[in-house]
Amino acid sequence: MFKKIKIAFICVHNSARSQIAEALCHIHEKDSFSAQSAGTHPKESIDTKATQVIKELYNYDMKKQQRPKAINQLKNVDIVITMGCEPSCSTLNANHQEAWDLKDPSGKDKKSYIKLSNTILSHIKQLKKRIEDGEIPLK
């Protein structure tokens, strides 16, 4: 990849799944992706368990680097990933869009957040490989 690909992770509340995905891109793929997240109905703050798990696993403080945003605050993205919010997630204009259909971990235990984080990281790595292999054509 030659330029950073602008990727947007979209969820209803922009408090857990999409925030975790944004953080994992910043941690693992900052040279490949310029990641943002947003929600159709964002909450006031990031999910506490999500911030705790990412801090424990990667020593990355989501609260210092990220905040919930509305979808209309995002512009000019190459890829849109919806996190599993079914029809209630609107999308942005992008060269490529896909849905990862991940369950909301809110109200679940810490293990659920760790499992979700691992799943999202796997999806991000697969996405990068598909781009590099030319399976996802970007203009």
Q: The sheet that has 33-39: what strands, in order across it?
A: 33-39, 5-11, 79-82, 96-99
Tokens of 40: 């159709």
Q: Is the model's pLDDT at 87 over the cut of 60?
A: no
User: CA angle at residue 66 from 64 to 69, to 5 degrees?
Assistant: 145
Q: What is the pTM of this model?
A: 0.94
* Domains of the chain in sequence order: 5-132 (3.40.50.2300)
Question: Is residue 48 very low, low, confident or very high in pLDDT (cuts 50, 70, 90)?
Answer: very high
